[in-house]
Amino acid sequence: MILVCGGIKGGVGKSTIATNMTVMRANQGMDVLLVDADDQGTASDFTAVRNETLVEQGAGYTSIKLYGAAVRSEVLRMAKKYDDVVIDVGGRDTAGQRAALSMANVYVVPFLPGSFDVWTLESVGKLVEEARAFNENLQAVCIINRADAKGSDNSDAAAIAKDTPGLEFVDAPLGNRKAFRSAASNGLAVTEFKPSDSKAIAEIKKLYKLLFDA
């Protein structure tokens, strides 16, 4: 499967999802290629830290950087060698993101509640509809990241997302939890980090199941 983590807003958790899905998939025995197509290089930085943290075993997956049209040409060339490909694209409407969408099976778009992020979903939906002209089987979903512990912001954001053409809202929110940040700073998935956060683990496992077991 080719999974793309994207959107057109930065700082919403695309790399968190991409790296966690990659590690969890690899820990299930899959041969995974992680493609960093974001010029910020967060996924590559995560992998570098992971290799330092897990000196003996290493990252457990293959990581490369690709940009622009090369995202499509190189992934198509390499994809048959791997069970899964996870692509982390930048938070803008870039050539690399469009290239990724042209061949993706699943596109996941995280957004924050109670912010301008919700209003960018309409533009993302249009991007998806354009991509479906070339990739008619593209499945595009959006999820709330850094969900608020209480209040109406989550439900208000969900209502807007549900009405966005081109995107399917899935009820698999990730909470605003320190465990996600702490795990990432050590090059680990939240499922690997100690002391473990059972709520964070349950949330990421629910998302994993929705993306890979659907």
Domain count, the chain: 1
One-character DSSP codes across 31-100: -EEEEEE-TT-HHHHHHHHHHHHSTTT--SSEEEE--TTHHHHHHHHHGGGSSEEEEEE-SS--HHHHHH
Query: Is pLDDT at 116 greater than 90 in this prediction?
Result: no
206: exposed, middle or buried (C-beta count within 10 Å: 0-12, 13-18, 19+)? Answer: middle
CATH number (domain holding residue 127): 3.40.50.300
Q: Residue 150: give the domain boundaries.
A: 2-212
Question: If DSSP codes are grouped into helix, strand and coil, which group holds residue 176?
Answer: coil
Lowest-confidence range among 40-49, 148-157, 160-169, 194-203? 148-157
Q: Tell me if 150 sits within 8 A of 173, measured CB to CB.
A: no
- On whether the CB atoms of residues 200 and 173 are closer than 8 A, the answer is no
Residues 6+ apart with CB under 8 A from 41: 65
For the chain, the straight-line distance linking the first and the last C-alpha, in angstroms and rounded, comes to 12
Q: What is the pLDDT of residue 214?
A: 57
Return the pLDDT at 115.
62
What is the token pair recorded at 169? 């809202």
Place of tokens 């999974």: 3
Give tens-digit pLDDT for 182-199: 999 999 999 999 999 999
Place of tokens 């060698």: 81
Helices 153-162/117-131 angle, 10° precision: 20
CA–CA gap between residue 145 and residue 138 (Å, rounded): 22
Q: Are 118 and 41 in contact (CB under 8 A)?
A: no
Kindly report the average pLDDT of the chain as a whole number: 93
- pLDDT higher than 90, residue 201: yes
